[in-house]
Structure 1
Amino acid sequence: MSAWKFYLVTFGCKVNQYETQSLREAWLAQGGVECNAPALADVVCVNSCAITSKGERDARNAVFRLRREAPTARLILTGCAARLFADYKPRPGAIWAAPDLLVPQEEKSRLLNGPWTDLDGDLDGDCAPQPHAGPLAGTASAADAASASAQAAFPPFQISAFKRARPVLKVQDGCAHRCTYCIVPSTRGKPRSRPVDEIVSEALRLLQAGHTEIMVSGINLGQYGRGTDMGDFWSLLRTLDAALAPEFAGQARLRISSLEPGQLDQQGLDALMACRMLCPHLHISLQHGSQAVLKRMGRGHYTPAMLESAVSALSAHWPVMGLGADIIAGFPGETEDDMRQLLELIERLPMSYAHVFPYSRRPGTAANRFDGQIPHSLKLERAARLREAVARKQQAFLTEQLKLSRVLVAADNPQAFAEPATDVAAADVTDAPADVTAAKPKKNTIKGVNEYYAACSIRMPAQGKRPGADAGLLPARPVAVTEKGLVVELMPAE
């Protein structure tokens, strides 16, 4: 087949970003050429997310928009929203569009063979918008057997590079916990773990390719190794650090995507403290600060006190640490007292940021049927209160970082160092009060994150040699606080 052009759209989590990159590399190797506009593409692929109703809606809207922008392209919808798309019933007479091919999440890896692969449910030929019976419509038991086989094995995605500066390293897939609000177990399937040697090999490839920070990620890292002889996540982390640190410690670093408070037992704390390449930063799948709400969520296996205890224990090893969390506002039955407990927990923790989501009802989950559903307007109001509390904590955290003499920044686009950049105006830095400043970096500044996961705008040196694209982790001094991060100026490497 002659060269063909493809366009990729990704929604949702870091695991989805990883899987999109794997498809990109596979399709490039098969003669595809990635283009920067859907109208130019022969193939358009949407890798969807369904963690919230908005995510599912975004996938439908993307299909509709992309069908208009690329009417003759082969339009593929895959990812967690693919099966849900099949069950969606538009209003009578509503204008909508369907993809040419629906590939459910458990069969996404079959696209590694190319977008022209003959899959069951493929609607070859007519690309015009049309009602669609759903993925694998009318398929026989052979397709079900293929799905079952795919569910049992770890999906064969792999990458050697990443489109973003900080690549994702997928080590685990699926979840068996079944929180009452979550449809992930039905879209991602049972937990599966990637072999340790494959993980180490891929991490080495990424570091040798010049990446300076790797995000170790999975759907539920706490279930890594379950049902296997691979060990658990903490043994994996120690193995990964031991394999990489002799060559890369001080030059590159590892970051963990997300943990639960219950994982931060003594074994977990010991592993965190022992790893030489690990960023002093944790992102916690907390969800709430009320134990009553956690129990209704199906997350009664941990308590907020576990997180507080772990953070206290880590403070001696990490005097400065970034701490983020996922939080759900307005879960069914949530009371003002539950909100008070959550807000008080936020105040007690050294929180540096949080992702706050209003509860989203998901058909097929237990919570969708719970009594005590919170009105939408009240969910939004509670989410806004939580975001305000987190914003205050974030500003306090960033202001404290102004006291640091040095941070290490991983640039979002190291190649940008080769081009002139607009400096942050000196007045934005020097004329600001010492506690918090409203300094706003000018456009075209180079972005990055430091080891504490604080967003940084990198101020270029007025004189002297600019760092090259292979500069790695950049020593920098925090000089100002913006609304969402730090302004830093580069320092000479030690």
Structure 2
Amino acid sequence: MSTWKFHLLTFGCKVNQYESQSLREAWQRQGGEECDDPAAADIVCVNSCAITAKGERDARAALLRLRRTAPQARLILTGCAAQLPGVLEPVRRRGEQQPQPTADCIIPQARKAQLLHALLPSLTDGGRQAPQAAANAAQTFPPFAIDGFRRARPVLKVQDGCEHRCTYCIVPLTRGRCRSREPQAVLDEARRLLRGGHAELMISGINLRQYGRDRPDYGDFWSLLTWLDRELAPEFAGKARLRISSLEPGQLDARGVDSLLSCRLVCPHLHISLQHASPQVLRRMGRGHYRAESLQEAVRALSAQWPVMGLGADIILGFPGETEADVDCLLDFVAATPFSYAHVFPYSARPGTAAAGFAGHIPPQEKQERARRVREAVARQQEVFRRAQLAQPDMLLAADVADGEGRQEGQAIRGVNEFYVPCRLVTPPAGLPLSGLVPVRPTGLDAAGLLVEPVGTP
């Protein structure tokens, strides 16, 4: 089989990172060789995101840049932005008489899995047809799978799609219906990755709350998690760990808390798709199925066995109709909740969603100002949490690089501890093994997070 070269550019969520890795492995099995320089590639693929308007703009800008950088390459667009009709429109650049197509081949998210099986140089312009509706996507879990990962902490994809239709969210239009992965396939992949030397797996999906909705025989997310833990813990407890990508407050009921506390491999860290704390805003968002306060109740329940835990959240500011009273409600909630970080976004209107047609849109400058205030409130909570980390006698570092991955002797090592706090080991001793979880202790703080040293260092 002749060798050909490809370049992958990935935007967006951890699920996209996982799918890019699956494409990478599939193409390498077909004789492809990955290159870092797109100008040297025969195939250039952009795996795009569309969760915000900025994500869509970034994909379009990347296509135009890559068209200039690698004019001889076949340029492929896939991912969520490729599911949107507007991305198909040709673009006229300054000085050009004719508009240029955004890509040679457009494979919408609904058909991305086709790229696993097609020998890339043989693809024709037939891929540039208008994207099919997500409703026509396959009803089974797309056949992505991985044997390794470019990063030290792999993503373990267990679910795809979402059927909830939050009023602000375009994901159901781009990812389609909920599809759950067969539990044995999840376990087999987890074992491959852990036995391959990875110390931490990020269990991810588009909406983990909906795991098993399409396949009741698979159980729900909590049954999957506890089964995985039970199967993996005898071999990997103390050597590796599982981290959950994102949950909703409503999942943290008594069963959810009990499930978390029963697991031996799960990190004491949760990332919550909170979005807001005001009941009025949550209802307008289509997220009236939970109370923000249920998160605080769950944290108190978890504290019996997790006296220290990392807690992150996604928060949206400036949703249509949001009032200053709603912002004050959110600020009070942040001040009363032990967040260790949060991702705070100004609301981004997405065509095709219900909220795009709502009355009461907030001016951009005001959205940014509200987001700034909430970020500052989160930063105060983060500072308290990180300073408290200095009192921990030890912790376990999952390094961002493994042994032998181009690390120079004495080079600082970055990673995260079990609480998802960024850590930096400034002067690692010679011969320090980085595969597995590295016992460290905190020595100080810098702007990025904790400074640590190996346990046992005098």
* Same-fold call, TM cutoff 0.5: yes
1:459 aligns to 2:426 (yes or no): yes
User: Following superposition of structure 1 onto structure 2, how do residues 10-409 of structure 1 map, counting pairs within 5 Å?
Assistant: 10-84=10-84, 86=86, 89=89, 97-116=101-120, 122-123=124-125, 135-137=128-130, 150-228=137-215, 229-409=217-397
Q: Which residue of 2 aligns with 1:476?
A: 440
Q: Which amino acid aligns with 2:320?
A: P
For 1:183 and 1:243, locate their aligned partners in 2 and report how far apart those are by CA, in whole Å: 36
Residues 417 and 467, structure 1, Cα contact 8 Å, conserved in 2: no
Deviation at 1:421, TM superposition (A): 4.8
> Which residue identity lines up with residue 103 of structure 1 in the other structure?
I
- What's the offset of the Cα at 1:149? 6.5
Distance 1:87 1:24 in 2: 24
Instruction: Return the offset for 1:415.
Output: 2.9
Q: Among residues 433, 445, 453, which one is paired with 2:412 in the alignment?
A: 445
Q: Deviations over 1:420-440 (max 9, x none)?
A: 455xxxxxxxxxxxxxxxxxx
Structure 1 position 387, deviation (Å): 1.0
CA distance in 2, matches of 1:446, 1:93: 43
2:27, 2:19 → 1: CA distance?
A: 12
Give the C-alpha shift of residue 83 in structure 1. 2.4
Q: Deviations over 1:72-130 (max 9, x none)?
A: 001000000002254565787766652110000010000001352766xx427xxxxxx
Q: What secondary structure does 1:448 align onto?
A: strand
Q: Go from structure 1 to structure 2 and tell me whether the alpha carbon gap of 1:66 and 1:419 turns closer, same or farther (over 3 Å shift).
A: closer
Aligned mates of 1:307, 1:232 — CA distance in 2: 20
Q: Distance in 2 between matches of 1:96 and 1:448?
A: 42
Runs of at least 5 residues in structure 1 that lack an aligned partner in the other structure: 125-133, 423-443
Are the equivalent residues in 2 in contact too, given 1:460–1:490 (CA < 8 A)?
A: no
Alpha-carbon distance in 2 for matches of 1:88, 1:148: 20
Residue deviations 1:473-492 (CA, integer Å, cap 9, x gap)? 01111111112310001113
- Equivalent residue, structure 2, for 1:413: 401
Counterparts of 2:426 and 2:322, CA distance in 1: 45
Aligned length: 452
The answer as to whether partners of 2:91 and 2:100 remain within 8 angstroms in 1 is no
- Using the alignment, how far apart are the partners of 2:138 and 2:203 within structure 1? 21
- Secondary structure (helix, strand or coil) at the match of 2:290 reads coil
- Work out the CA distance in 2 between the residues paired with 1:154 and 1:300: 28
Identity over the aligned pairs, expressed in percent? 60
Distance in 1 separating the partners of 2:289 and 2:389: 34
Equivalent residue for 2:456?
492
Is residue 460–residue 466 contact of structure 1 (8 Å, CA) maintained in 2? no
Asked if the contact 1:402/1:479 (under 8 Å) is kept, the reply is: yes
Which consecutive residues of structure 2, in runs of 5 or more, have no partner in the other structure?
none
Give secondary structure in 1 for the equivalent of 2:246. Answer: coil
Distance, in Å, in 2 between the alignment partners of 1:88 and 1:4 is: 27
**Cα distance between partner residues in 2 of 1:98 and 1:92:** 10
- 1:28 to 1:118, Cα distance in 2 relative to 1, 3 A: closer
Query: Following the alignment from structure 2 to structure 1, what is the Cα–Cα distance between the partners of residues 289 and 53?
Result: 26
| Native 8 Å contact 1:418 1:469 kept in 2 | no
The worse-fitting range, judged by mean Cα deviation, of 221-230 and 253-262 is 221-230
Secondary structure, counterpart of 2:403 in structure 1: helix
Residues 275, 377 of structure 1: CA spacing in aligned structure 2 closer, same or farther, 3 A cutoff?
A: same
2:9 maps to what in 1? 9
What amino acid maps onto 1:191 in structure 2? C
| CA deviations over 1:14-49 (Å, ceiling 9, x no partner) | 000000000000001110000011001000000000
Distance 1:41 1:135 in 2: 20
Q: State the 1:304 CA deviation.
A: 0.7
Partner-residue secondary structure (3-state), 2:218: coil
Q: 1:218 is aligned with what amino acid? A: G
Q: CA separation in 2, counterparts of 1:41 and 1:224? A: 38
Q: Give the distance between the partners of 1:192 and 1:223, measured in 2 at CA.
A: 9
1:408 and 1:417 map into 2 onto residues whose CA distance is 20
